[in-house]
């Protein structure tokens, strides 16, 4: 990656973050959290909020997601073909809504919302330091981008904060309402 893609000098991946086996990525995304998608850009990195995503394969993990063709993220992603899916918790709810309400064409969202870009290991887009998990991705398939703005991403490296066993992820319900992850129930299951 080029050093110029980050607005501020990126730190190395901090020790508070551990590598997550790629086979476990589905356990982060299946419950449907709002995520923050980061992309590198010629001037500065960008970030957008996203709820329209789904797992498509366990390993290597594939994630399908809808990214509006009008967004800056879409044009940066088509160019660089790399991004990071960051999973925030409720502590970042205000920033998530902020990222969803302005365009990176006008605003440096990292600065505006106090988010810290951290250098990723495999892609040019930055991790967001404040997020619970970070999934470094490469674009794997663009065959449905023209018809549906639907990108298929392959997760090539995953990070998670081991300190938070039950992250209070947020789940968009529309019109500024977010459901916060509640209790966990466990049932005997042969499912993965």
Q: Note whether 182 binds a second copy by CB under 8 A.
A: yes
Interaction of residue 127 with a second copy, rule CB under 8 A: no
Does residue number 132 form part of the binding site for a second copy (CB under 8 A)?
no
Residue 165 has which token pair? 């066993």
Q: Residue from 5, 6, 33, 115 that binds a second copy (CB under 8 A)? A: 33
Q: Does 8 bind a second copy (CB under 8 A)?
A: no
Tell which one of 1, 7, 22, 56 touches a second copy (CB under 8 A). 56
Distance CA 94, CA 118 (A): 20
Tokens of 84: 């990071």
Q: Are 13 and 118 in contact (CB under 8 A)?
A: yes
Total residues interacting with a second copy, rule: CB under 8 A = 56
With CB under 8 A as the contact rule, which of the stretches 71-79, 80-88, 95-103, 115-123 interacts with a second copy?
Answer: 95-103
**175: contact with a second copy by CB under 8 A:** yes
Pick one of 94, 111, 114, 164: the residue that binds a second copy (CB under 8 A).
94
Q: How far is the CB of 86 from a second copy (least distance, A)?
A: 16
Tokens of 66: 């809808």
User: Which is it for the CA torsion 27, 69, 176, 107, positive or negative?
Assistant: positive
Could you give the count of Cα atoms lying within 13 Å of 189 in the half-sphere of its Cβ? 5
Element (H, E) at 72: helix 72-80
Q: Is 54 in the site for a second copy (CB under 8 A)?
A: yes
The DSSP letter of residue 113 is: T
| Spatial distance between the Cα atoms of 84 and 46, rounded to a whole number of angstroms | 11
Interacting residues with a second copy (CB under 8 A): 24, 26-27, 30-33, 49, 51-57, 62, 64-66, 90, 93-94, 97, 100-101, 141, 143-144, 147-148, 150, 152, 168, 170-192
């Amino acid at each position: 990656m080029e050093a110029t893609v980050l607005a501020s000098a990126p730190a190395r991946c901090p020790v508070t973050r551990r590598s997550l086996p790629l086979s476990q990525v589905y356990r982060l995304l299946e419950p449907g959290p709002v995520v923050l998608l980061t992309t590198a850009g010629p001037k500065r990195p960008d970030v957008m909020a996203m709820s329209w995503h789904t797992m498509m394969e366990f390993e290597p993990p594939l994630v399908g997601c809808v990214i509006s063709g009008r967004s800056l993220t879409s044009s940066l992603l088509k160019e660089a073909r790399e991004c990071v899916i960051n999973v925030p918790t409720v502590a970042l709810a205000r920033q998530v809504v902020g990222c969803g309400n302005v365009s990176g064409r006008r605003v440096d969202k990292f600065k505006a919302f106090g988010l810290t870009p951290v250098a990723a290991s495999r892609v040019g887009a930055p991790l967001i330091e404040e997020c619970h998990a970070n999934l470094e991705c490469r674009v794997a398939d663009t065959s449905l981008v023209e018809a549906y703005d639907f990108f298929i991403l392959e997760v090539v490296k995953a990070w998670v904060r081991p300190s938070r066993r039950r992250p209070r992820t947020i789940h968009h319900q529309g019109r500024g309402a977010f459901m916060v992850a509640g209790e966990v129930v466990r049932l005997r299951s042969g499912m993965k």
